Amino acid sequence: MARAPLTPVQNWDAQLLLLAQDVRVAFFDVDGVLTDGGLLFSGEGEVLKRFNTLDGHGLKLLQKAGITPAVVTGRDSPALRLRLSNLGVTHARFGTEDKVPAAEAILGELGLQWHQAAAMGDDWPDLPVMRRSAFACAPANAHDEVLAVADWITPRSGGEGAVRQLCDLLLAARGAYAGLLAEYAS
């Protein structure tokens, strides 16, 4: 017996979809956004990070829909570089505390402007990029000042699927969500 076609179960507020409909690049912080914000150190001093596979698949889906995921982070580590490489994320700036020039360089490479950008951050260093972007998002466990400027706060926390929730919303705003889901439902 064949199953009925898969219908998306997620629903988003129409106002959020309107805010996000022109997004062509999404900036992500790492610690507290792509990870839970915790830092693990090996006995040799190597920084270890835990990434969520839902978030990783969301970043791949963005790329399929023509939205560029970009990372701008104050830290750098081999683990982070390996994870981004495995996901095909090629637009990244590492070890930068002043994130606006890094984001502007990426915008320039892509031929885009701030009104085509989304940004997800969790702490004060992320505020300048979030405030310039057309759509600002924060994970549920972000700092209060970041939550106050976010257009949308994900139900999930950083490192626990928050990035995927933003990816799904951006895919829906782009009109690509249902089509991509159908590819996996056959």
Q: Please, which pLDDT band fits residue 1 given cuts at 50, 70 and 90?
A: low
Tens-place pLDDT, residues 32-77: 999 998 877 778 877 778 999 999 999 999 999 999 999 999 999 8
- As a whole number of Å, the CA-based R_g of the chain is 16
Question: Is 122 marked as binding a ligand?
Answer: yes
Domain extent listing, the chain? 12-178
- What mean pLDDT is reported for the chain? 94
The Cα-based distances of 51 to 8, 54, 72, 130 in angstroms read 25, 9, 16, 22
Question: Is 31 marked as binding a ligand?
Answer: yes
Q: Above pLDDT 90, what percent of the chain?
A: 81
| C-beta of residue 107 within 8 angstroms of C-beta of residue 129 | no
Amino acid at 100: V
Tens-place pLDDT, residues 124-163: 999 999 999 999 999 999 999 999 999 999 999 999 999 9
Question: Is 76 marked as binding a ligand?
Answer: no
Report how far residue 165's alpha carbon sits from residue 156's, in angstroms, rounded to the nearest whole number.
8
Q: Residues for the chain: how many in total?
A: 186
Report how far residue 163's alpha carbon sits from residue 154's, in angstroms, rounded to the nearest whole number.
8
> Which tokens is 36 given?
């839970």
12-178 folds as: Rossmann fold (3.40.50)
**Looking at residue 99, what is its pLDDT?**
98
Residue with tokens 């209060």: 144
3, pLDDT greater than 90: no
